[in-house]
Copies of this chain bind each other. A is one copy, B any other.
């Protein structure tokens, strides 16, 4: 008999825990509004070499052509019943990923409010920024907070679980989706179930940290523990009140950051000084581990989610989440299996990847790095990345293809005194007005139209035309057209580092 089984199971009971939070007065009012909040601040390397510090997992199409972020922003589409899902989800992301985040969301045809975290502070402050923003709207909506880097196969099942969770949230609980475990995984936190509710949900007895293997096996055998999915459904006011009680410093820092925030183009920028005062902590530690204890700020409910959920937390998990051929293999891109079994191979850089007689092997090929790992040892990738980072190998953190606010460039070849890049400029975008001390540049347009500034001149270049930018001459590249501009740039000079650049003017504020 768990401690929480003695708690009342009626929903009215939730309210007593809410306390004196900002929005507690409104709990009696019904609420049918759901605001998706997407936590897109991750920067892990467990899916290296695809995910890197500068291009993390949520921005990658891990299980399909869409990135995980794109799949996540579209996940609430077609939500059933009489719930009203906000047209604009709130996305919280890091400064260094804001351009790609915005670009991907736009490509998905979704309008979103993108909150750029001034600093990394883990998930609790991120969710609090979103809650304060949602609440600032004047409406005490129900937040549906989802990590941007998970995959869920069965969307109707997800919607059904969220609808149940939202009912509990409407009544004042913090609801979370729990995954009934299929194996004693040590990579997840677990939720110990309290009393059963009549809709399949349970009260939360308590949150448990990632267990050791033996404990994980006991949890799974007991049948009274579910995995913590990281998906939370809670009224903005309830979250804010809970945080105010449990983490007053974080609460005031985040609320002040939103109050002092500003709009910057497509982005919402909370006040950096205020946000900087927020301690770094996860939703689980900051709030959820108090649920079910005497200090609980409100009731906690866990709703089961059986919907092909995966946190894609390792290449092994990716293999597990994908459809396999009759030998248990998963191929992505130009891959050939010859007598391979239970292997995952991915060709991302376009090379032909051939696996001969491999068993339980992960192969991930990218432009500049190839990973070959035993499926049982994928947790060591983290250590590997740390090691190559120590050796200052750029492959640890950056891709060969480098995203910029105006598009991207790819370093396709280099020698001692030259470097060749393919540069792709988004329609309407332009690079900074710049100059190099040590290199000249030859540009050949291979697709689209370029507007070139060279010294005092300005001229158009179209496909199959080229120009030359001598060393020391101010220049700018711009795409005035409606299709992407692609140029091949041959740099020639004695020093070819990215830091040989003097910026005179920049649309994206990169002059200082």
Chain A residues engaging chain B, CB cutoff 8 angstroms: 49, 336, 338-339, 345, 347, 349, 351-359, 361, 363, 365-374, 376-378, 380-381, 383-384, 387-388, 393, 395, 410, 412-413, 415-418, 420, 422, 440, 442, 444, 446-447, 463-464, 466, 468, 486, 488, 490, 492-493
Contact indicator A488/B368 (Cβ below 8 Å)? no
Given the complex of chains A and B, what is the CA–CA distance between A147 and B10 in angstroms?
86
List 25 A-B pairs, Cβ < 8 Å.
A49-B352, A338-B381, A338-B384, A351-B367, A352-B369, A352-B393, A353-B372, A354-B369, A356-B371, A356-B373, A356-B374, A356-B377, A356-B384, A357-B376, A357-B377, A357-B380, A358-B372, A361-B372, A370-B370, A410-B413, A413-B488, A416-B447, A418-B447, A463-B492, A464-B492
Which DSSP category, helix, strand, loop or mixed, fits chain A's interface?
A: strand
A330 to chain B, nearest CB (A): 14
Contact indicator A446/B373 (Cβ below 8 Å)? no
Contact indicator A358/B361 (Cβ below 8 Å)? yes
Task: Answer whether A490 and B488 are a contact pair too, CB < 8 Å, given A356-B372, A374-B356.
Answer: yes
Contact indicator B388/A372 (Cβ below 8 Å)? no
Q: Which of B358, B417, B418, B420 contacts A373 (CB 8 A)?
A: B358
Q: Which of B347, B377, B440, B464 contacts A440 (CB 8 A)?
A: B464
CB closest chain-B residue, reference A338: B384
Given the complex of chains A and B, what is the CA–CA distance between A354 and B361 in angstroms?
13
Contact indicator A492/B444 (Cβ below 8 Å)? yes
Which residues of the other chain, B, contact A490 by a CB distance below 8 angstroms?
Answer: 444, 446, 466, 488
Given the complex of chains A and B, what is the CA–CA distance between A370 and B355 in angstroms?
8
Contact indicator A359/B374 (Cβ below 8 Å)? yes
Contact indicator A422/B417 (Cβ below 8 Å)? no
CB closest chain-B residue, reference A375: B357
Q: Which of A363, A378, A415, A444 has the most CB of B within 10 A?
A: A444
Given the complex of chains A and B, what is the CA–CA distance between A490 and B420 in angstroms?
11
A25 to chain B, nearest CB (A): 54
Contact indicator B356/A388 (Cβ below 8 Å)? no
Which residues of the other chain, B, contact A492 by a CB distance below 8 angstroms?
Answer: 444, 446, 463-464
Task: Answer whether A447 and B486 are a contact pair too, CB < 8 Å, given A356-B377, A380-B338.
Answer: no
Which residues of the other chain, B, contact A349 by a CB distance below 8 angstroms?
Answer: 351
CB closest chain-B residue, reference A384: B338
Contact indicator A418/B351 (Cβ below 8 Å)? no
Which residues of the other chain, B, contact A384 by a CB distance below 8 angstroms?
Answer: 336, 338, 354, 356
Task: Answer whether A388 and B354 are a contact pair too, CB < 8 Å, given A415-B446, A444-B492.
Answer: yes
Contact indicator A378/B352 (Cβ below 8 Å)? no
CB closest chain-B residue, reference A442: B444
Given the complex of chains A and B, what is the CA–CA distance between A244 and B359 in angstroms?
52
User: Which 6 pairs show the lowest CB-CB distances between chains A and B?
Assistant: A357-B377, A418-B446, A356-B373, A357-B374, A464-B492, A338-B384
Given the complex of chains A and B, what is the CA–CA distance between A492 and B464 in angstroms?
6
Q: Which of A338, A359, A363 has the most CB of B within 10 A?
A: A338
Contact indicator B354/A372 (Cβ below 8 Å)? yes
A495 to chain B, nearest CB (A): 14
